[in-house]
Amino acid sequence: MKFICAKDYQEMSRKAASVIAAQVVLKPDSILGLATGSSPIGIYEQLVVWHRQGDLDFSQCSSFNLDEYRGLTADHDQSYHYFMHQHLFDAINIPAERIDLPDGAQMDAAAECARYDAAIAAAGGVDLQLLGMGLNGHIGFNEPDEVFSKGTHCVDLTTSTIEANKRFFASADDVPRQAYTMGVQTIMQARKILIIISGENKADIVREAFFGPITPQVPASILQLHPDVTVVADEAAFSKCRDLI
């Protein structure tokens, strides 16, 4: 693992965006695995700036997203389809036909998960996967469990995840109870992984995930086994493992 410490969220976002930008410049037809939530917004803002300045061209890129709420249509303002178009896709030149996310409106979970895994495989796999990490060590919607998940699957969201996401909805009652998510195995098959973490409230799980035992009770801990992982975090998130990095 490579650890990059940033002063704050803004610097973390710039440093992480630089990793993605380098990937696109060196391999213009990169397959990008993208994430949603509050953590990557600063990254996407920086990528848009560089694109508008003429420094980044996404015209040959393809993308797959980590997850999507089951039961939300693509035009729902809290769907991850909507989020990605709002924060990135509508502002860059990535072709629409090369954008793929799980289809939250598809209620046949087995069929949609199989379609998504087949699409990733047909594209040749993900070159660079962007991740965030939850307070319990979840990546995507892969929550603590008895085993590591494999392919794309439908998950029941935990109470803590619903609580964390309720700020995006009118109330906790409006948060969907299920989501489609790439499995841990799918994530681990990406050729490179970039994980971003910000805030003192993540300091305990950063130490546990990256310097503790590898266990499905802390899903992100499996990243210790990946050959090419870059962790970009701010000083607050790294505050409890400065002796280890």
Of the candidates 81, 87, 138, 153, the residue annotated as catalytic is 138
Distance, CA of 104 to CA of 81 (rounded, Å): 9
What's the CA gap between 214 and 49, in Å, rounded? Answer: 38
The position carrying tokens 């917004």 is 41
Q: Which of 51, 117, 136, 165 is catalytic?
A: 136
Which of 127, 143, 208, 234 is flagged as catalytic?
Answer: 143
143 classed as catalytic: yes
Give every CB contact of residue 46 below 8 A, 6+ residues apart in sequence.
13, 14, 17
Place of tokens 């409106």: 105
At 65, list the tokens.
């997203």
Structure tokens at 24: 């696109």
Contact 128, 43 (CB under 8 A): no
To the query of whether residue 67 is one of the catalytic residues in this protein, the response is: yes
Task: Kindly name the residue from 67, 103, 112, 127 that is annotated as catalytic.
Answer: 67
Rg of the chain over all Cα atoms, to the nearest angstrom: 17
Q: Which residues are catalytic?
A: 67, 136, 138, 143
